[in-house]
């Protein structure tokens, strides 16, 4: 436990320079953009004259030099202040906290779906490499992998929401329904099915394939032959010896994919009108809302860092050899 | 004295655990002499070889080789001097770049050290192959297409290519089949007598060491616990480590029990 | 001694290989005997051992017969224990030693996990692993090569099989450890009255342990018979070469001038 | 060359190579198969497929020939995917090599940069980059590469660190090889294959990313891409499904082809590796 | 069911309260229509905050009374007197008085509002002789015609007691609106919805008819159609259902496609021209481009018939000002080519005369599609145009600040009077950075003089005549090319009653909108 805490602290401190790089790069990226927050704002107003633009720039501090603004931003960040969103006229932290639960819900469910279903089917396919089951499952997973998630999202919504009317077409919950407690949770779950499906399927396919090929590799190892020589049942060999070891690369993979999944949610959130990070980011970019975009990217990055940290702990639980290397370090 | 090693110490840190792989090791090696180095697994034999070859740095200690303070050499001068001390590795396959051909393996040291043109080096490669008993046509073979025994011959050819005065052989014959092992050992002895090369011959098999060594040193837990003439160590071992090694050599029992 | 197993016209070919890895007319194994299978690298030793244990890999085809006159074909794990060459690869790195030793007992002896683990503890004690209680909860990487091979032997013996196949179990280890393992094996087999099939490339090692030898060369059985007879009066020239190339402490030095 | 033969020897590799060769042929001969600008209006809008001989796949809502779009889209999609992957690979390999070989503070700094790019959602980055820099083909390529180079860099570094400790590198040092020779002759050629085998999945992902960007309206308007075709098709997804089906199928086939080829290569490399 | 629904007969059907759910595609940061006079804001805010008058199909002068009951200009054009409605209450219970109007005009419309800054540029003071009278005083003669035409857009009244003494731009009431309208602002969940509830104290008798309006945020264009079909929403305005999907959705039972209700919200499809480019400074080249555009194709294929071809800078729907008797440019590629040859830009060996950078505005699908079309149309006359896609902010900056374009496709809005937002598109002397203005470097002294004269002409007829003149000059000299003008489409479930019963329906107060039970 103490070791885990030490690991957490070390990793969090270690990620500070990384997050700093993220912040500075994002800042520079938006600085090099054509058009600034005022241009975007004037546009949303339907026009305005040069004097308005000038006074707006002054009030947003956009008339200062880039270095000065970066410094200002970083020093407020050091006080854990994420700044003020120009496009929304609200504190960035509020906006992020408002959207974070939806994103976490979407990502979490999609990850759970992708990982759960992906590994299970991966085990089914990998239990007998090169068997017919394996070939069919692998081929299907390849097709699912290659279907763009936005297209899948649109089709799912048409089929299940518009044609069959089984599920709501968009949103995170029934608007202004006044539901609470369990009824609300059920309502949200219902709304999540389609977006989670659209987002999760591609990763499910990916996890399936990784699991399958990892199992194929494990099958070749001596300890599997030894397990066979011990006369163990096939299911025990598949689950306890082969799948258990094949899970390790999958955990690593999950960490690497967490950032990609966050990115993938941009399109899904816009198709299913889910107010999450992806859509907020899109609005931040179109609004040239530097503090907001940095805030989002920073939070996403932090999220990825945390997920990876968590996965490292899980990995250490799954692989006893890791603990040895970390011991006392 | 060709090589003299004084008080070499080397510690490895893995995590918080510290392993003393070499603990105050000293010995000397004369020209044309073979020193057999015996010891159980983990006693520090390979570490000693790697320190001598300047593949890992020593913590403390001195090495004099051909009259030079060997451990202080660096950069280009070290690279030039490397011609004088060569090594043959245990894992016959891992010691070669998987993309190499036999010819390129032998050409590399010649290119680096001989200063000859490519055409002349071709001839030298052929001579080397011939010397270790391989047909000249082997030059074009990929290193992966030849047998283990042949590979070890190539490794020996590579080691003698720069005309070294010392070759360190780390378990150079342990992975070979007995019939091949014998011919390789013979080749090594022949080369020594021909060129006056000194060997530091590492093995955990005392029977092998006895065949090729003038003297034998026994290592245990990073220390040299016993040194002496080969016959003396085998006939009158003093240390428990040496006795255990001797007892472990399987004896061919030809009479019915 | 009774005949345990008789092999007739066995021919094993691996997928994609032109020549069979194993191809010979006949080999008999006696119950309670100790058979050493000897040969150089690639001669088919492992293939033969696996064939006997009906553990040939899926990418192989075999013809011929392996008959068990006095009994049914032994089931690997239950009637026949198998120990592999590489002790660092034959244990699952992510499962505890206890579980890996106990799982065979649990399946074949139908023990509860609790009982199987107790049984595993006893086995670890029998293979002379230090602190067997603690070892149950430890993982393979926490042991040395020789210790891992002891664990593997314990796991192979978990269901108290009557046959033990040991495939070059010492070739990855140093000689001191090798000597200890061979002594252990000797003791275990003697105590339990097991049939031992011992695979090695070292004819001397075999000579100290086995009562019968089978010598393989490129998939062919070049000689077989009682150990004493084969070693004393080898029939094939190959056996003679093997004996001749054996180097012992008393073999003459290769150095002509020992005064240097 | 032998790798190619080995790759085709695997089932996946054969199918992948076949699909990809076909696609490359289509891409190369796009202007021969469907001459003229595929963005030109060629007929009445929303002509259904298989109804008019000259417009076999029908037209989109502006009356542009769908077949021409799909055919020319092959060129853009493949070249964007390949260019992005090549850029990501080249950059990643250089950074990974530099980090792995130099060690110390340089390694530390480079790896923090790699971390930074790996923890930022790649698509967010691409989205921001294209929005900011304008959606022309090369910007899109850079944007996708930005989100993809960190993986190869990390793998390259791991490879270098591992190969640095191999016996044959020690052997090279023993014969007196200099650092440059060791990096470029001993380490790089052996470190590269597993890194390169990532490229298939990067190309596939790049093509999908490009289509998702197009879907959000961030594509180069001067060329056809499957993504932008699907994006336009979605407005009429219900009444003119074919508008998104055909480019979608093309995309699907391409991604599958590349993925299979990649698996074939990986398998072939695995087989060719000594000792396995 | 694609009909312009006659609204009146339906109003007699039985309706009882209910919740109307409407699709919204944007979430304006500042929802205060007194500051931001844009359709995105009005769409939501017009139900809460009312103007002095609203556009009407058959009101006097095209206007219906809201907070003002009458308006009268003085002879000299230096003052306008508004009589205000009595008994009106703000949503917080306070009484609405002339002070609110004076405050809104002097402190918000004139200094802060994007359009009010033009219309009320010369407003000097607002006198409030009594609680129900507001007299606007101008420093220079200001045409009543302009004021009247602008009223629905520029005159949203906000409560003085809420804003006075605060920083108006950051007042929380800019998002939590307080007005006099039929609906109160109840709730905003960012990214999800706005909720408005019935104002029990509304001055209109028996209004509003609905209990609640919910604006559900659906950023994806395909989303609105799906939600309509899935009966999750009742109505999607502003062509939230893409034109190309209308044909299909009109056949869905229970759904109606309505093209009425946007008559006073005409958008114009315009090719903006950078006159700094040597070639484009040549009138012959501009004429050639005008001739190269097949307006019929644009109307039929891009707008699927939901638009009309333009003849000039004033749309046909503005019948008061519209002059059909102007120079026209029929589609004629041969003539266009001849003009270009004449101008001295011969085709090169590759068939190209010169190359251009073409920036279609990203706001509408139609402007982008027209960009594709224009590229091809120009290719046909030997002009090679490269399309540049940029997002809104970048487009804005490139065209209106940096002038980094040769041709641009823009969608300006005609807001009832040419002086509000049309003349600015061709007038010279506008500083860089002003969106939707002449940033093409076009300069025509005669035109500038005409515009200046119109701003001081009090007599409506004379002023109208000046604008007819204006149209003639613009079409003859082509500072920009007007291609088409369009209104939007509303798609609604047929349970929604009284849809599109005024020419600015989507942005009006929906007091009489009802749901059939
Ligand atoms: N790179 C390393 N990092 C940490 N410890 C090491 C390293 N190399 C060797 N050791 C440790 O140093 C000790 C000596 O190892 P060395 O390889 O020299 O032994 P050896 O005598 O060559 O053994 P073997 O006969 O098995 O080759 C061992 O305990 C080993 O675990
Ligand atoms: N799984 C396999 N697939 C293909 N060929 C195999 C396989 N296992 C063994 N072979 C081949 O069969 C032949 C005999 O192999 P086997 O492993 O039985 O030899 P061995 O005597 O055990 O050798 P070693 O001493 O190296 O273990 C060799 O040529 C080998 O390459
Ligand atoms: Mg060693
Ligand atoms: Mg074997």
User: SS3 for E138-183, per residue?
Assistant: ECCCCCHHHHHHHHHHHCCCCCHHHHCCCCHHHCHHHCCCCCCCCE
Domain borders along chain A are 2-78, 97-286
User: pLDDT band for position E7 (50/70/90)?
Assistant: very low
Which residues of C touch chain A, with CB atoms under 8 Å apart?
A: 53, 55, 57, 75-78, 81-82, 84, 86, 89-95, 103-104, 107-108, 139, 141-142, 152, 155-156, 158-159
Residue owning the nearest CA to atom 29 of ligand 1: B42
Residue E365 has pLDDT above 70, yes or no: yes
Q: What is the CATH number of the domain that holds B254?
A: 3.40.50.300
> Which of chain A's residues have a Cβ under 8 Å away from the Cβ of B15?
324-329
pLDDT at A47: 66
Ligand 1 centre distance from Cα of residue C108 (Å): 40
Query: How far is the alpha carbon of B158 from chain D, nearest alpha carbon, in Å?
Result: 8
pLDDT at B116: 87
Beta carbons of A35 and E393 less than 8 Å apart:
yes
> DSSP 3-state assignment of E244?
helix
Q: Cα–Cα distance between D26 and D34 in angstroms, integer? A: 10
Residue E6 has pLDDT above 50, yes or no: no
Beta carbons of C89 and A248 less than 8 Å apart:
no
Q: Cα–Cα distance between E103 and E87 in angstroms, integer? A: 19
Residue E364 has pLDDT above 70, yes or no: yes
Mutate to test the pocket of ligand 2, among C12, C16, C21 (most ligand atoms within 8 A of CB): C21
Sign of CA dihedral E341, E346, E351, E356: negative
Q: Return the CATH fold of A97-286.
A: MetI-like fold (1.10.3720)
Beta carbons of E397 and A39 less than 8 Å apart:
yes
Q: Are E377 and E292 contacting, i.e. CB atoms less than 8 angstroms apart?
A: yes
For the Cβ of B44 lying below 6 angstroms from any atom of ligand 1, the answer is: yes
Mean pLDDT of E457-476: 93
Beta carbons of B16 and A326 less than 8 Å apart:
no
D41 part of a folded domain: no
Token code pair at residue D24: 């490359």
Domain encompassing residue D155: 78-259
pLDDT at B256: 47
Beta carbons of C243 and B208 less than 8 Å apart:
no
Q: What is the CATH number of the domain that holds D237?
A: 1.10.3720.10
Residue A329 has pLDDT above 70, yes or no: no
Token code pair at residue C64: 């011929």
Ligand 2 centre distance from Cα of residue E258 (Å): 80
> Which of chain B's residues have a Cβ under 8 Å away from the Cβ of A328?
15-16
Q: Are A34 and E393 contacting, i.e. CB atoms less than 8 angstroms apart?
A: yes
- Number of the ligand 1 atom closest to the C-alpha atom of B45: 21
Torsion angle, alpha carbons of B236, B240, B246, B249, to 10: 170
- Number of the ligand 2 atom closest to the C-alpha atom of C216: 21
- Which of C54, C55, C92, C139 to substitute to test the interface with A, most A CBs within 10 Å? C92
For the Cβ of C14 lying below 6 angstroms from any atom of ligand 2, the answer is: yes
Residue E5 has pLDDT above 90, yes or no: no
Mean pLDDT of B172-192: 90
User: What's the domain count of chain D?
Assistant: 1
Token code pair at residue E70: 């009458």
Mean pLDDT of E93-116: 92
Degrees, nearest 5: CA angle D199-D200-D203: 80
Ligand 4 centre distance from Cα of residue C199 (Å): 8
pTM for the model: 0.87
Question: Which ligand has its closest atom nearest to the C-alpha of B204?
Answer: 1
Average pLDDT, chain E: 90
pLDDT at C20: 92
D126 part of a folded domain: yes
> Which of chain A's residues have a Cβ under 8 Å away from the Cβ of E191?
98-99, 273-276, 279-280
- Number of the ligand 1 atom closest to the C-alpha atom of B219: 21
Q: Cα–Cα distance between C117 and D33 in angstroms, integer? A: 72
pLDDT digits over C51-95, tens only? Answer: 999 999 888 999 999 999 888 889 999 999 999 988 888 999 999
Radius of gyration, alpha carbons of chain E: 23
DSSP string, C115-184: HHHHHHHHHHHHTT-SSHHHHHHS-GGGS-HHHHHHHHHHHHTTT--SEEEEESTTTTS-HHHHHHHHHH
Percent of chain C with pLDDT over 70: 98
User: pLDDT band for position E202 (50/70/90)?
Assistant: very high
Q: Which residues of chain D have pLDDT under 70?
A: 1, 270-276
User: In whole angstroms, what separates CA D6 from the centre of its chain?
Assistant: 22
Of A48, A161, A287, the CB nearest to E435: A48
Q: Would an 8 Å CB–CB cutoff place B15 in contact with chain A?
A: yes
- Number of the ligand 2 atom closest to the C-alpha atom of C15: 4
Domain encompassing residue B203: 33-44+166-257
Beta carbons of A47 and E114 less than 8 Å apart:
yes
Ligand 1 centre distance from Cα of residue B44 (Å): 6
Ligand 1 centre distance from Cα of residue C172 (Å): 15
Mutate to test the pocket of ligand 2, among C40, C45, C198, C242 (most ligand atoms within 8 A of CB): C45
Beta carbons of D221 and E360 less than 8 Å apart:
yes
pLDDT at E4: 43
Residue owning the nearest CA to atom 2 of ligand 1: B12
pLDDT at E46: 95
Mutate to test the pocket of ligand 1, among B45, B90, B219, B223 (most ligand atoms within 8 A of CB): B45
Total beta-carbon pairs less than 8 A apart between chain A and chain C = 79
> Which of chain D's residues have a Cβ under 8 Å away from the Cβ of E302?
62
For the Cβ of C208 lying below 6 angstroms from any atom of ligand 2, the answer is: no
- Please identify every residue whose CB atom is under 5 Å from ligand 4, which is an ion: C 46
DSSP-derived secondary structure letter, E80: E
User: What's the domain count of chain B?
Assistant: 1
Beta carbons of A229 and C81 less than 8 Å apart:
yes
Find, among B221, B249, B256, B222, the residue nearest to B233 by Cα.
Answer: B249
User: pLDDT band for position E8 (50/70/90)?
Assistant: very low
Beta carbons of E397 and A285 less than 8 Å apart:
no
Ligand 3 centre distance from Cα of residue B39 (Å): 9
Q: Please tell me the least confidently modeled range out of B7-16, B227-236, E468-477.
A: B7-16
Degrees, nearest 5: CA angle A81-A85-A87: 175
ipTM of this complex: 0.85
> Which of chain B's residues have a Cβ under 8 Å away from the Cβ of C42?
none
For the Cβ of C251 lying below 6 angstroms from any atom of ligand 2, the answer is: no
Inter-CA distances, B238 with B22, B71, B225, D267, Å: 21, 32, 9, 55
For the Cβ of B42 lying below 6 angstroms from any atom of ligand 1, the answer is: yes
pLDDT at D1: 57
For the Cβ of B74 lying below 6 angstroms from any atom of ligand 1, the answer is: no
Q: Would an 8 Å CB–CB cutoff place A39 in contact with chain D?
A: no
Question: Which ligand has its closest atom nearest to the C-alpha of C41?
Answer: 2
Token code pair at residue A244: 């258990």
Query: How far is the alpha carbon of C215 from chain B, nearest alpha carbon, in Å?
Result: 14
pLDDT at E180: 95
Q: Cα–Cα distance between B184 and B156 in angstroms, integer? A: 9
Query: How far is the alpha carbon of A180 from chain D, nearest alpha carbon, in Å?
Result: 33
Q: Are E354 and E279 contacting, i.e. CB atoms less than 8 angstroms apart?
A: yes
Total beta-carbon pairs less than 8 A apart between chain A and chain E = 157
Degrees, nearest 5: CA angle E383-E384-E390: 125
- Number of the ligand 2 atom closest to the C-alpha atom of C44: 18
Coarse DSSP helix, strand, coil percentages of chain C, rounded to the nearest 5 percent: 35, 25, 40
> Which of chain D's residues have a Cβ under 8 Å away from the Cβ of E365?
235
For the Cβ of C61 lying below 6 angstroms from any atom of ligand 2, the answer is: no
Query: Are there at least 3 beta-carbon pairs closer than 8 Å between D and C?
Result: no
Domain borders along chain C are 91-161
pLDDT digits over E414-454, tens only? Answer: 988 999 889 999 999 888 888 888 999 999 999 999 999 99
pLDDT digits over A118-176, tens only? Answer: 999 999 999 988 889 998 998 999 899 889 888 898 889 889 988 888 999 888 888 77
The CB density around residue E310, as the number of other CB atoms within 10 Å, is: 24
């Amino acid at each position: 436990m103490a070791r885990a805490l030490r690991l957490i602290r070390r990793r969090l401190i270690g990620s500070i320079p990384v997050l700093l790089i993220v912040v500075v790069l994002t800042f520079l990226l938006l600085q090099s953009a054509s058009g600034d927050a005022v241009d975007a704002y004037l546009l949303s107003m339907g026009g305005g004259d040069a004097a308005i633009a000038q006074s707006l720039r002054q009030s947003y501090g956009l008339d200062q030099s880039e270095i000065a603004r970066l410094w200002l931003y970083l020093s407020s960040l050091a006080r854990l202040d994420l700044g003020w969103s120009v496009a929304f006229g609200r504190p960035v932290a509020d906006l992020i906290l408002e959207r974070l639960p939806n994103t976490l819900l979407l990502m979490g469910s999609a990850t759970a779906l992708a990982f759960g279903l992906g590994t299970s089917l991966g085990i089914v396919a990998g239990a007998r490499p090169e068997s017919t089951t394996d070939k069919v499952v692998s081929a299907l997973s390849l097709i699912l992998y290659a279907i763009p998630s936005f297209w899948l999202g649109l089709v799912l919504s048409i089929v299940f929401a518009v044609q069959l009317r089984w599920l709501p077409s968009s949103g995170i919950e029934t608007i202004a329904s006044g539901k609470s407690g369990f009824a609300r949770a059920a309502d949200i779950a219902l709304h999540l099915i389609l977006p989670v499906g659209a987002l999760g399927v591609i990763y499910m396919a990916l996890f399936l394939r990784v699991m399958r090929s990892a199992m194929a590799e494990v099958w070749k190892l001596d300890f599997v032959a030894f397990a066979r020589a011990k006369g163990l049942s096939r299911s025990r060999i598949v689950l306890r010896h082969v799948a258990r070891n094949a899970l390790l690369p999958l955990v690593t993979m999950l960490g690497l994919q967490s950032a990609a999944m966050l990115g993938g949610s941009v399109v899904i959130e816009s198709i299913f009108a889910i107010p999450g990070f992806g859509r907020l980011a899109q609005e931040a970019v179109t609004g040239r809302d530097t503090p907001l975009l940095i805030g989002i990217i920073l939070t996403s990055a932090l999220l990825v860092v945390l997920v990876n940290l968590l996965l490292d702990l899980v990995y250490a639980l799954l692989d006893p050899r890791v603990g040895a290397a970390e011991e006392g370090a | 004295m060709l090589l003299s090693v004084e008080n070499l110490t080397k510690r490895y840190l893995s995590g918080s655990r510290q392993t003393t792989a070499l603990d105050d090791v000293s010995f000397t090696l004369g020209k044309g002499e073979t020193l057999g180095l015996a010891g159980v697994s983990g006693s520090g034999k390979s570490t000693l070889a790697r320190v001598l070859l300047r593949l890992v740095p020593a913590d403390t200690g001195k090495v004099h080789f051909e009259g030079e303070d060997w451990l202080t050499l660096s950069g280009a001068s070290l690279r030039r001097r490397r011609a004088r001390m060569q090594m043959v590795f245990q894992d016959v396959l891992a010691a070669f770049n998987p993309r190499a051909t036999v010819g390129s393996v032998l050409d590399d040291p010649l290119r680096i050290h001989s200063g000859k043109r490519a055409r002349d080096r071709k001839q030298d490669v052929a001579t080397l192959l011939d010397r270790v008993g391989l047909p000249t046509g082997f030059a074009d073979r990929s290193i992966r297409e030849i047998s283990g025994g042949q590979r070890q011959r190539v490794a020996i050819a590579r080691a003698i290519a720069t005309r070294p005065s010392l070759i360190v052989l780390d378990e150079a014959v342990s992975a070979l089949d007995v019939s091949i092992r014998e011919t390789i050992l013979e080749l090594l002895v022949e080369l020594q007598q021909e060129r006056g090369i000194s060997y530091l011959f590492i093995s955990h098999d005392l029977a092998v060491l006895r065949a090729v060594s003038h003297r034998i040193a026994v290592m245990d837990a990073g220390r040299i616990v016993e040194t002496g003439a080969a016959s003396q160590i085998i006939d009158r071992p003093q240390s428990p480590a040496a006795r255990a090694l001797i007892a472990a050599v399987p004896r061919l029992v030809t009479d019915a029990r | 001694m009774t005949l345990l197993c008789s092999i007739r016209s066995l021919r094993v070919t691996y997928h994609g290989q032109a020549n069979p890895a194993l191809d010979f007319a006949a080999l008999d194994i006696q119950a309670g005997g100790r058979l050493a299978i000897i040969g150089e690298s690639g001669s088919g030793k492992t293939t033969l051992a696996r064939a006997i244990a009906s553990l040939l890999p899926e990418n192989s085809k075999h013809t011929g017969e392996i008959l068990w006159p006095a009994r049914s074909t032994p089931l690997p794990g239950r009637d026949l224990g198998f120990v592999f060459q590489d002790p660092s690869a034959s244990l699952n790195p992510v499962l505890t030693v206890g579980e890996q030793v106990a799982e065979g007992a649990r399946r074949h002896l139908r023990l509860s996990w609790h009982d199987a683990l107790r049984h595993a503890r006893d086995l670890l004690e029998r293979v002379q692993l230090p602190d067997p209680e603690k070892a149950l909860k430890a993982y393979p990487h926490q042991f040395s090569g020789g210790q891992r091979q002891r664990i593997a032997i314990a796991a192979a013996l978990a269901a108290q099989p009557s046959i033990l196949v040991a495939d070059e179990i010492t070739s990855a280890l140093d000689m001191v450890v090798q000597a200890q393992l061979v002594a252990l094996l000797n003791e275990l087999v003697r105590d339990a009255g097991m049939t031992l099939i011992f695979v090695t490339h070292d004819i001397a090692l075999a000579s100290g342990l086995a009562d019968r030898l089978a010598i393989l060369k490129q998939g062919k059985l070049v000689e077989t018979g009682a150990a004493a007879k084969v070693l004393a009066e080898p029939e094939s020239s190959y056996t003679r070469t093997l004996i001749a190339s054996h180097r012992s402490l008393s073999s003459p030095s290769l150095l002509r001038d020992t005064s240097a | 060359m032998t790798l190619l033969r080995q790759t085709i020897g695997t089932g996946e590799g054969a199918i992948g190579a076949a699909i990809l060769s076909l696609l490359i042929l289509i891409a190369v001969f796009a202007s021969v198969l469907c001459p003229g600008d595929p963005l030109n209006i060629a007929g009445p809008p929303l002509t259904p497929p298989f109804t008019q001989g000259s417009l076999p796949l029908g037209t989109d809502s502006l009356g542009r020939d769908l077949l021409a779009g799909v055919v020319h889209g092959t060129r853009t999609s493949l070249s964007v995917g390949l260019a992005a992957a090549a850029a990501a690979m080249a950059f990643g390999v250089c950074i990974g090599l530099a980090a792995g070989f130099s060690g110390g503070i340089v390694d530390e700094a480079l790896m923090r940069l790699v971390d930074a790019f790996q923890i930022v959602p790649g698509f967010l980055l691409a989205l921001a980059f294209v929005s900011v820099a304008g959606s022309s083909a090369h910007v899109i390529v850079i944007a996708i590469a930005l989100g993809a180079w960190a993986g190869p860099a990390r793998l390259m570094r791991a490879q270098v660190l591992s190969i640095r400790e191999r016996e044959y590198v020690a052997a090279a040092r023993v014969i007196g090889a200099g650092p440059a020779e060791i990096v470029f002759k001993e380490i790089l050629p052996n470190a590269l294959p597993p890194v390169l085998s990532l490229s298939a999945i990067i190309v596939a992902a790049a093509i999908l990313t490009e289509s998702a960007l197009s879907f959000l309206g961030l594509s180069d308007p001067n060329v056809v891409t499957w993504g932008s075709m699907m994006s336009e098709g979605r407005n009429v997804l219900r009444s003119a499904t074919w508008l998104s089906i055909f480019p979608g199928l093309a995309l699907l086939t391409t991604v599958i082809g590349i993925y299979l080829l990649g698996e074939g290569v990986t398998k072939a490399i695995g087989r060719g590796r000594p000792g396995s | 069911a694609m009909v312009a629904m006659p609204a009146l007969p339906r109003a007699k059907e039985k309706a009882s309260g209910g919740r109307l759910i409407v699709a919204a595609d944007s979430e304006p940061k500042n929802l205060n229509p007194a500051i931001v006079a844009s359709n995105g804001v009005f769409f939501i805010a017009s139900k809460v905050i009312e103007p002095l008058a609203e556009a009407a199909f058959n009101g006097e002068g095209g206007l219906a009374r809201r907070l003002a009951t009458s308006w009268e200009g003085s002879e000299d054009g230096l003052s306008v007197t508004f009589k205000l409605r009595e008994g009106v209450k703000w949503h917080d219970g306070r009484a609405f008085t002339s002070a609110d109007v004076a405050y809104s005009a002097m402190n918000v419309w004139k200094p802060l509002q994007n359009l009010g800054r033009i219309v009320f540029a010369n407003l000097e003071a607002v006198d409030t002789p009594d609680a129900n009278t507001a007299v606007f005083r101008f420093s220079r003669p200001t045409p009543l015609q302009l004021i009247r035409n602008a009223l629905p857009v520029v005159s949203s009244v906000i409560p003085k007691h809420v804003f006075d003494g605060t920083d108006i731009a950051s007042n929380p009431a800019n998002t939590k609106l307080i007005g006099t309208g039929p609906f109160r602002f109840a709730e905003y969940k960012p990214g999800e919805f706005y909720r408005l509830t019935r104002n029990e104290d509304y001055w209109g008798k028996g209004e509003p008819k609905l209990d609640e309006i919910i604006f559900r945020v659906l950023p994806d264009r395909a989303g609105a159609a799906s939600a309509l079909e899935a009966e999750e929403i009742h109505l999607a305005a502003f062509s939230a259902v893409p034109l190309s999907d209308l044909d299909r959705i009109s056949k869905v039972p229970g759904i109606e496609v309505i093209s009425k209700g946007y008559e006073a919200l005409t958008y114009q499809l315009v090719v903006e021209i950078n006159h700094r480019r040597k070639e484009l400074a040549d009138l012959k080249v501009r004429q050639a481009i005008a001739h190269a555009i097949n307006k019929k194709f644009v109307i039929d294929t891009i707008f699927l018939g939901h638009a009309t071809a333009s003849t000039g800078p004033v749309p046909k729907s503005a019948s008061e000002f519209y002059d059909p008797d102007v120079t026209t440019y029929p589609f004629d590629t041969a003539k266009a080519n001849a003009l270009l040859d004449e101008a001295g830009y011969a085709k090169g060996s590759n068939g190209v005369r010169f190359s251009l950078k073409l920036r279609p505005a990203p706001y509408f699908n139609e402007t982008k599609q027209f960009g594709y079309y224009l590229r091809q149309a120009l290719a046909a006359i030997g002009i090679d145009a490269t399309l540049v896609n940029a997002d809104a902010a970048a487009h804005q900056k490139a065209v209106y600040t940096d002038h980094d374009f040769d041709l641009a496709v823009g969608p300006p809005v005609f807001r009832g009077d040419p002086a509000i937002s049309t003349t600015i598109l061709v007038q010279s002397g506008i500083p860089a950075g002003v969106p939707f203005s002449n940033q093409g470097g076009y300069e025509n002294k005669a035109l500038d003089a005409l515009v200046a004269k119109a701003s001081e002409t009090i007599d409506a007829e004379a002023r109208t005549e000046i604008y007819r003149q204006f149209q003639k000059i613009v079409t003859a000299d082509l500072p920009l090319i007007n291609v088409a003008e369009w209104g939007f489409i509303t798609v609604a479930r047929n349970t929604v009653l009284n849809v599109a019963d005024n020419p600015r329906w989507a942005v009006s107060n929906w007091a009489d909108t009802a749901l059939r039970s």
